Amino acid sequence: MQDPPLTMIVRTAGTNCEGELRRAFELAGSRTEMIHLDALISDPARIERADILAFPGGFSYGDDIAAGRVFSMKLRTKLWDALCAAAERGVPMIGVCNGFQVFVQAGLLPGFAPDAYPDGAPQPSISLTQNKEARFIDEWPRVEYPSNSKCIWTQALAGCSDDPALLPIANAEGRFVAADSATIAQLESNGQIAVRYVDNPGGSQGSIAGICDPSGRIFGLMPHPERYIEWTHHPYWTRLSPEQTSRPVPGLVMFKSVVDAVASQPA
Report the number of distinct structural domains present in the chain. 1
How many degrees, rounded to 5, is the angle at CA 58 between CA 131 and CA 64?
75
| Angle, helices 250-263/18-27, rounded to nearest 10 degrees | 60
Does the pLDDT at position 148 exceed 70?
yes
Which residue of the set 97, 151, 173, 234 is catalytic?
A: 97
Quote the pLDDT of residue 125: 87
On whether residue 118 sits in a domain, the answer given is no
Q: Is 109 exposed, middle or buried (0-12, 13-18, 19+ CB in 10 A)?
A: buried
**Residue range 4-22: average pLDDT?**
97
On whether residue 238 sits in a domain, the answer given is yes
Quote the pLDDT of residue 92: 98
- Active-site residue, 36 included: no
Does the pLDDT at position 152 exceed 60?
yes
Q: Which CATH number do you get for residue 157?
A: 3.40.50.880
Tell me the residue range of the domain where 139 lies.
6-113+125-263
On whether residue 172 sits in a domain, the answer given is yes
On whether residue 119 sits in a domain, the answer given is no
Quote the pLDDT of residue 43: 98
On whether residue 120 sits in a domain, the answer given is no
- Specify the higher pLDDT residue, 113 or 131: 131
Does the pLDDT at position 113 exceed 70?
no
- Active-site residue, 224 included: yes
On whether residue 149 sits in a domain, the answer given is yes
**Residue range 216-235: average pLDDT?**
96
Banded model confidence at residue 66, pLDDT cuts 50, 70, 90: confident
Mean pLDDT, rounded, of the chain = 93
- Active-site residue, 97 included: yes
On whether residue 104 sits in a domain, the answer given is yes
The strand ranges marked E within 41-121 are 52-55, 93-96
